[in-house]
């Protein structure tokens, strides 16, 4: 048994946990495959150890994004073409390596990631993922449909690797470490904490998109983009938020500011609107939202017109704000 493997509680409260060591060694592979299919992804597992597979996971659901903390000794898993058909799953896995090394094989590509690195791939294509020795990783599971809705034609056919020691790629591991620290400190208690962490994961994905698709050309450019996004995030409730106010705060020209957002999935103005709509939707979906008026939510997030807000919200989510608040289905 690997030293340190025994005492690895979930770093957040409320996790669903299972451990192969609760069953006999000869039953562990089947046990792991069954529980992974239920909570993670359909897979086939192999282990060369005579003592049987020693592995465990903690699973936490904080909304549309899930978090799975996996630790285990030497083993590897396969998601074969047969399993793609038998156990369909449409997700992207943003995976932070905490200890050891892992490898991911897909379509002739083999990526080896070490502690501090991040890998990104989807579950719609066959792959292998393995621990050559003891390792631990945290997977942030992102719904594939929403991934494509946000990032258009960004294909995850190839595994994306963000090294933890190389600029500007190391921004992604550092940002995910912040997400995990916040998860630990908040305990993910309540809807608001879960939604806040979900939002942070999407923020990390926006930066990842910029890095992979050429929008970020240097660490300096990446830091400027993050600074602009942070200012926007902090001032979404200000109805006077505009490209001019952002450029003035950052001490750059409007042209420079707009160039920062070239190559991004959304223009600067569209990015501001999207973030406001996301915030309004989070508020409307919270427990007790019926006690808050739609107009209050509208003006809280910087919209100047209730009619404009309702129209944009309905166009974006295919449901009116009032229907969203009551948890009703779309109106089409």
251: Cβ contacts below 8 Å, ≥ 6 apart: none
pLDDT at 12: 56
Q: Are residues 27 and 54 in contact, defined by beta-carbon separation less than 8 angstroms?
A: no
pLDDT at 332: 44
- Domain, as residue range, for 231: 214-325
- The closest of 222, 95, 121, 96 to 171, measured between CA atoms, is 222
Do residue 147 and residue 224 come from a single domain?
A: no
Number of structural domains (the chain) is 2
Do residue 175 and residue 44 come from a single domain?
A: yes
Helix 219-234 vs helix 243-250: crossing angle, to nearest 10 = 130
Question: In CATH, what number is assigned to the domain containing residue 305?
Answer: 1.10.10.60
Task: Indicate the pTM of the whole model.
Answer: 0.76
- The closest of 61, 44, 129, 145 to 95, measured between CA atoms, is 129
Residue 202 is assigned to a structural domain of this protein: no
Do residue 171 and residue 230 come from a single domain?
A: no
CA distance 8 to 34: 22
3-state secondary structure of 45: strand
pLDDT at 188: 55
Residue 177 exposed, middle or buried by CB count within 10 Å (0-12, 13-18, 19+): middle
Residue 314 exposed, middle or buried by CB count within 10 Å (0-12, 13-18, 19+): middle
pLDDT at 2: 55
Do residue 168 and residue 231 come from a single domain?
A: no
pLDDT at 5: 52
Residue 331 is assigned to a structural domain of this protein: no
268: Cβ contacts below 8 Å, ≥ 6 apart: 243, 246, 257, 258, 260, 261
Residue 254 is assigned to a structural domain of this protein: yes
Do residue 156 and residue 230 come from a single domain?
A: no
Q: What is the mean pLDDT of each run of 10 residues along the chain (332 residues)?
A: 49 76 95 94 94 92 88 96 93 96 93 96 94 96 91 86 87 90 68 78 89 71 85 95 95 90 85 94 79 91 96 94 71 47
Question: In CATH, what number is assigned to the domain containing residue 64?
Answer: 2.60.120.10
CA distance 57 to 15: 9
pLDDT at 304: 95
Residue 5 is assigned to a structural domain of this protein: no
pLDDT at 9: 52
Do residue 157 and residue 254 come from a single domain?
A: no
């Amino acid at each position: 048994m690997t030293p340190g493997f025994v005492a690895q509680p979930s770093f957040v409260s409320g996790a669903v946990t299972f451990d192969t060591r609760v069953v006999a060694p000869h039953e562990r592979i089947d046990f792991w495959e069954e529980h992974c299919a239920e909570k993670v992804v359909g897979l086939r597992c192999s282990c060369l150890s005579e003592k049987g597979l020693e592995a465990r996971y903690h699973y936490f659901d904080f909304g549309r994004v899930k978090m799975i903390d996996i630790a285990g000794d030497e083993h590897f898993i396969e998601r074969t073409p047969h399993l793609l058909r038998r156990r369909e799953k449409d997700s992207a896995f943003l995976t932070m390596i905490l200890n050891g090394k892992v490898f991911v094989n897909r379509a002739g590509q083999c990526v080896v990631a070490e502690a501090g690195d991040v890998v990104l791939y989807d579950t719609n294509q066959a792959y292998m993922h393995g621990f050559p020795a003891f390792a631990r990783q945290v997977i942030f599971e992102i719904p594939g449909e929403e991934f494509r809705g946000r990032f258009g034609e960004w294909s995850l056919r190839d595994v994306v690797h963000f090294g933890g020691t190389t600029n500007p790629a190391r921004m992604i591991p550092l940002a995910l470490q912040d997400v995990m620290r916040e998860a630990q400190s908040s305990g993910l208690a309540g809807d608001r904490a879960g939604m806040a962490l979900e939002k942070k994961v999407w923020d990390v994905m926006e930066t990842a998109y910029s890095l992979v698709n050429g929008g970020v050309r240097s660490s300096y450019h990446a830091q400027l983009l993050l600074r602009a996004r942070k200012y926007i995030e902090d001032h979404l409730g200000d109805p006077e938020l505009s490209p001019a106010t952002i450029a003035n705060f950052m001490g750059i020209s409007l042209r420079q500011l707009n160039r920062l957002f070239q190559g991004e999935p959304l223009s600067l103005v569209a990015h501001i609107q999207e973030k406001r709509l996301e915030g309004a939707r989070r508020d409307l979906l919270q427990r007790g939202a019926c006690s808050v008026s739609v107009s209050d939510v509208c003006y809280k997030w910087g919209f100047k017109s209730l009619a404009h807000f309702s129209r944009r919200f309905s166009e974006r989510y295919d449901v009116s704000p009032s229907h969203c608040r009551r948890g009703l289905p779309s109106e089409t």
